[in-house]
Each structure stands twice: as structure tokens, then as C-alpha cells.
Amino acid sequence: MKQVSTVCARDCYDTCALIVTLGELGQILSIKGDPKNPVTQGFTCPRGAKDHERLYKNRVEAPFLRKGDHFERTDWEKGLSVVSQKLGEILEKYSSEAVLYLDYAGNMGLLTAVFPRRLWNDIGATQTDWALCSNSGHKALALHYGHSYGIRPIEILSMDLVVFWGFNAAVSSPHMWSLAKKARKLRGTQIVVIDPRESPTAKSADLWIQPMPGSDVALAYGVINHLIQNDYIDLEFIKEWTLGFEQLKVKASKWTPDRVEQITGVAWRYVKQLGDAYASLKPSATMIGIGLQKCDQGADQVRAISFIPALLGLHRGFFYSSGNSFSVNESLVSGQALAGRTPKIVEQVALADLVKGGGFKFIYISCMNPAMTLPNQHAFREGISRQDVFVVVHETHWTKTAQYADVVLPAPTYLEKEDLVIPWGHNYVQYSRRAVRPITNSRSEVWVMREIAERLGLTEEWLYEDAWSAVELALENALEGGSFQSLISGEMLTFKTKPKNDYSTPSGKIEFYSSIAAEIGLNPMPIQTPLCIEKGNFILLTSATPKFTSTQFQEVYGAIPPVVTMNSQDAERLGIREGHIVTMANERGQVQVKVTISNTVPERVVWSPRQSEGLAGEPLNCLVNSNPQEIGSGPRFNSTTVTVTRH
């Protein structure tokens, strides 16, 4: 038997270091977490453990061309000739802005996701702002802190209080959850979970607080008011490191116990209990979930919550993401720094309407399944089905998006190629080795990019540069504990991180009252917008489940369950029983699902697994609007309102 060290390349907090065990014939026998990585801790999630099964199922085995309503297999020469010829025609007849390069986070490797953008940056193709998942939270934190990085997950082990705010870590980040449980066992750390739904994380918390969805600004201000009124704050720290405290004090004072209870639905005794825990249990870590900012109030919720650690005298005492604390020059890897021009950037959340409107004539899709993941699915699918739009998909598996393509090109999985994955949850990094040879006639993203560039007659030398040389240059001065060569030789290193007391705001301090926001016409401080739910409507929440990463792993575990969880009081009022089929509907579409009755959700709220399909194959995201948030252009998934009627 042989063991290979590699790294899971998926968009995940944990970016697991993995040990792949191979049999005598080179087949994968097992995939386990690498115990040398302090975050991975020797175990992996249900997805990573089954990756070798997914390797052989539902794969795109060769290039395919659409012929009417079906696909015909072809070879790489023919497939690339068709792609390059069509791309050349569009560039000549229209302009580079009529070409859309649509990628996202299906694979986070530098060689898979970043270096191939060199082609599209060279020709000036339209690209997106990558705001579908977490950008509103990043931009919100940047208004007050300059950057969105905070504590490193390994620091959880030294905390006396860990607050998972809108963060179902037991599912979305099992390794951070494991660290929190270890801290509780070793030092008595108290774990608080704030979530409208009694998630698996909430079930195991020492204290679970259940606000109504979208009311977290009010809850945060309630905690802040309690801290200020009881002199639990660090006035010396506030004086030295912050600006705008007086404005914050006035703002918070308006959030009286009665008002907080009315908006959030949380009894004041729980708000007080949370505030007292923050005051007495130090140090603390406030873990802000990515899902928290996927709603109408998302950006404001994140920035309001982030104020709490600062009032307690903690430099960046929150966690949202670690990625922008690293000094990795991704613009060099992607060619953006070399192209000499800035591409047109469109809002990813708003793509459905843009594509439906016919603004793009050629769409190249990589590392993304947008025909499932984007909001307003009916509009998006109508757009990529237009006769005047040519769609190319480079993909490992036959996804829903691939079924809409004119050309499908086979890609290798992360187990079939070498790469370097930049984590965004923690700062441990290692070379991702190839575990097995490609089992399909696939080609890497770098290879395909260069082949298309050659066929277009592009001559920029940096298009054909050795990809690893570019990566080495991009990591210059980014690593600690070793060099790039030691990284490639197999050592596990760490990224240098920016100091926690480095605030790249105009004042160089934490700005409770954001001068940047005031200058560009945004609210300088977070506001709680009214929660308006029409009578008879429900707020539809969606979130991750243990067996699926986005839409991946349905090849292994079957379809994402087409279910909805409803409170027993709502079910009784509507005459709905366990197992009944209901229709969730709004002005954008309707989805049929089976009901599970449980008080894990409050009244007037329902929950479904994200990115699922209904019983008739309807995408759940057809219900979601494609209007981006004002701050960061993020999505509004968890502000979707629906009616629920028995089918």
C-alpha cells in the first residue's frame, strides 16, 4: 500500500489536509484526515471520506458537442476547434464584453481556479464580482476594520467563550466545531449558538438563542447596550483604538429591552445572559457565519456583531474569514496584474436577468454549477437556453449546468492533478499531490486555457508561462516556517498573517462610525430594517447539510432531500401533517416538497436544504430574487418569502 498527501480543494472553512491510501493496483482504498494538520486533526467530513467513490460516478468522460436535444461524443481536437472558432467569431462580431467567463469556488486551487483566468483577462472578457457567497460580509467588516480577517481557528482552544453567531459549525465546519468542543472539555469553555433554527450546533450548545431571521442587528445592539449600561466595556481600549464610540452609545441606547424583544422575539433575560457571558468569560471568540449575511440585512448584521469584541478590548475578536490576512498575489497568478486593462465586472447575484436579456453571446463556465446555485433560476436557465448564446462548460461531472451546454469538456478532479489550495478558514498550507492518474479523457484547466489561447493566435508570453513559476512568485514573502521549495517537497507550512491591530481604515483605527460609508452614501452605522412578512407568508431559510458540498456528492448520497421543515403550530393551522406534499411558491416560481414537522424552526419560518430540487425537479433557487445587497452585492437567499399550501 502507498499513501499520498493531498488537500481537499472545495470551498469550505476547513480545507482539509488528507491522506489517500492506495492499493497495489493504484486504486484508492480510503481517504482520511491528516493528523499532522492542527485543524484537520486526523478526521474528515462525510464528503471527503467518500471522494474516491464520487471519482467514478457521473463523470464527463470525453468532450461532447450538442446535436439538437442530445450530446455526441467527440475528441479534444474537434471540441477545442469548435470552442475556439466560436469564441473568435464572437470577439470579432461583437466585443470582448459579449464574452462572459463564469467561474466560482467549485475548486479553490491556484492552478485550477486562478491561473486559467489569464486567457480571459488577456482578451478582456466580462467577469463577475464573486459575490454569491460571502462578499457582503467582507465589505461590511472592511467598512469598520479595513479588512475582514480576525482570529485564527486554532485560537479557539485558548478561549473561555465561543459564540457561533449564524454559524452551524457542526455541519459547515466540523473541525472548528471539534476545536470548540475540545476547548469546552479541556478548559470549560462555554459555547453559545445564535440561530433561528435549532441546528445540530445549537442542539449541543450551552446556550442557544433563537432570534427571528433578519433581526440580528437588533440583537447585537441589545447586547451592546447591556455592556455599555453595566460598564462592562474596556474604555481604555476604546479610547486608544476606536473612533465613533459616542455615536454607537447613542445608537445602542435606543435598543431597550422591550424593543429588542419585540423585534427579535428573544426574551431579554437571554440577551442579558449573553452580555454577561461576554463580560465575564474572557477571552472570547465571536464566530460569524457566512450564512448570516445571505439576507436583506446581511451586511449590517455582520458589522453590528463585530462591534461586540471591540467594546470588550479585543483586537479583531471575531472570525469571518482568514483569507485576506495572507499576502498571496493572486492578481499575478490570474494575469490581472499583467493584462494592462480592467475587465468589465458584473454582479454575480444579478446574473439571471443579465443572461436572460441576451447581453452575452459566449459563456464559458468552470468550477461552478450556476444552473442550480444562482438566484432566480427560471430566468437564468431561460438565458443560457437562448439560441444566440453559446455555452461551454469545463466540468468533472455531468451537472445540471452541463446539460445546458453547447460544448462540454471533461476536467480532472483534485485527486487527479497537482495544485496548491489557498485556505480561507485557517492558515495551514501544503502541496496538493495527485493521488491517481485521470480516469477519464480529461485535461486540466491550465492546459485547456493554453490550447484555446494558441488557437486564437494570442501571443502574450505570460499566457504560456510555467504555472508553478507564477505561483512561486505570488507566494514570495507569504510563507513562514519554510520556503516554496520546502512546500513543494511536502512540508506543511503556514501563511504569515497580518497583525490583528492593523486597521487599514482612513483613521487607522476601528471605526464604529464608518467614515468610508459616510463618504460613499451608505449608513455609517448598522441599521435594523423592518421585518415585513405579509400575512400567510413564511420566511424560507436554506443552509448546508452534512452530506453535500453545494450541489456535489449527489452521485454518492443521492439527491439532496426535497423536504421542508415546518413548525407544528403552523402545520396545525394549515391542516398539514407529517409527510404531506406541499407547494412553496412566490411570484418567481413554485417548488413541491415533502413536509417534516418540527419545532426546530419558529412559527412563520420554514427550512429546506440549500440548492435542492423539488419533487418535480424544480430548483429551490427559482424562488430567490436576484437583487443584490447594497453593501457587497451579496445574495438575499434567507430573506425569501413563500406561501405554503398543501398539494
Round to whole Å and give the CA distance between 453 and 465.
12
Over the range 93-108, which residues count as b (16 or more CB within 10 Å of their CB) and which as e?
Answer: eeebebbbbbbbbbbb
CA 384 from centre of chain: 24
Residue 13 in contact with residue 173, Cβ under 8 Å? Answer: yes
Q: What pLDDT is attached to residue 514? A: 98
- Note whether 335 and 462 are same-domain residues: yes
Round to whole Å and give the CA distance between 127 and 122.
12
Residue 303 in contact with residue 140, Cβ under 8 Å? Answer: yes
Task: Check: pTM over 0.95? Answer yes or no.
Answer: yes
Count of CB atoms within 10 A of residue 505's CB?
18
Say if residue 438 is preceded by a cis peptide, omega within 30 of 0: no
Residue 372 in contact with residue 619, Cβ under 8 Å? Answer: yes
DSSP state of 199: -
Q: What pLDDT is attached to residue 449? A: 98
**Cell of residue 284, nine digits:** 472570547
Residue 612 in contact with residue 562, Cβ under 8 Å? Answer: yes
Show the domain range for 20: 2-54
Any idea which residue has 393551522 for its cell?
573
Q: What pLDDT is attached to residue 46? A: 95
Q: What is the CATH number of the domain that holds 156?
A: 3.40.228.10
Count of CB atoms within 10 A of residue 278's CB?
26
Q: What is the CATH number of the domain that holds 25?
A: 3.30.200.210
CA 230 from centre of chain: 37
Residue 487 in contact with residue 429, Cβ under 8 Å? Answer: yes
Q: What is the CATH number of the domain that holds 595?
A: 2.40.40.20
Q: What pLDDT is attached to residue 533? A: 86
- Note whether 310 and 338 are same-domain residues: no
Round to whole Å and give the CA distance between 388 and 381.
14
Single-letter code of the amino acid located at 495? F
- Note whether 470 and 398 are same-domain residues: yes
**Cell of residue 600, nine digits:** 426546530
428-429, strands of its sheet edge to edge: 428-429, 493-495, 479-480
Round to whole Å and give the CA distance between 407 and 394.
8
Q: What is the CATH number of the domain that holds 454?
A: 3.40.50.740
- Pairing outcome for strands 345-346 and 127-128: parallel
- Pairing outcome for strands 207-209 and 190-194: parallel
448 backbone dihedrals φ, ψ, rounded to 5°:
-65, -40
Round to whole Å and give the CA distance between 552 and 564.
20
Any idea which residue has 472578457 for its cell?
125
- Note whether 264 and 402 are same-domain residues: no
Round to whole Å and give the CA distance between 585 and 248.
40
**Cell of residue 412, nine digits:** 480532472
DSSP state of 159: -
Helix (H/G/I), strand (E/B), else coil: 435: coil
529 found inside a domain: no
- Among 54, 75, 94, where does a domain finish? 54
Any idea which residue has 454518492 for its cell?
556
Helix (H/G/I), strand (E/B), else coil: 323: helix
- Note whether 103 and 17 are same-domain residues: no
- Note whether 267 and 316 are same-domain residues: yes
Q: Which helix (H) or strand (E) holds 446?
A: helix 445-456
- Note whether 473 and 577 are same-domain residues: no
Strand partners, 487: none
Round to whole Å and give the CA distance between 361 and 354.
11
- Note whether 30 and 118 are same-domain residues: no
Round to whole Å and give the CA distance between 217 and 156.
24
Strand partners, 605: 539
Helix (H/G/I), strand (E/B), else coil: 505: coil
Residue 601 in contact with residue 196, Cβ under 8 Å? Answer: yes
- Note whether 91 and 162 are same-domain residues: no
43 found inside a domain: yes
**Cell of residue 459, nine digits:** 501571443
Q: How many domains does the chain have?
A: 4
488 found inside a domain: no
387 found inside a domain: yes
CA distances from 587 to 223, 378, 642 (A): 37, 11, 9
Q: What pLDDT is attached to residue 647? A: 82
Over the range 618-630, which residues count as b (16 or more CB within 10 Å of their CB) and which as e?
Answer: bbbbbbbbbbbbe
533 found inside a domain: no
- Note whether 395 and 287 are same-domain residues: no
CA distances from 596 to 24, 371, 564 (A): 46, 27, 6
143 found inside a domain: no
**Cell of residue 247, nine digits:** 455615536
Any idea which residue has 474596556 for its cell?
234
- Note whether 283 and 396 are same-domain residues: no
CA R_g for the chain: 25
Q: What pLDDT is attached to residue 532? A: 80
N-term to C-term CA, the chain: 54
- Note whether 222 and 279 are same-domain residues: yes
Count of CB atoms within 10 A of residue 598's CB?
15
Burial of residue 204 (CB within 10 Å: 0-12, 13-18, 19+) is middle
Q: List per-block mean pLDDT (blocks of 10 residues) for the chain, which spans 647 residues.
A: 95 97 94 96 95 96 96 98 98 96 96 98 98 97 98 97 98 98 98 98 98 98 98 98 98 98 98 98 98 97 98 98 95 96 96 97 98 98 98 98 98 98 97 97 98 98 97 96 95 97 98 97 96 90 96 96 98 97 98 98 97 97 98 98 95
Residue 325 in contact with residue 149, Cβ under 8 Å? Answer: yes
483 found inside a domain: no
530 found inside a domain: no
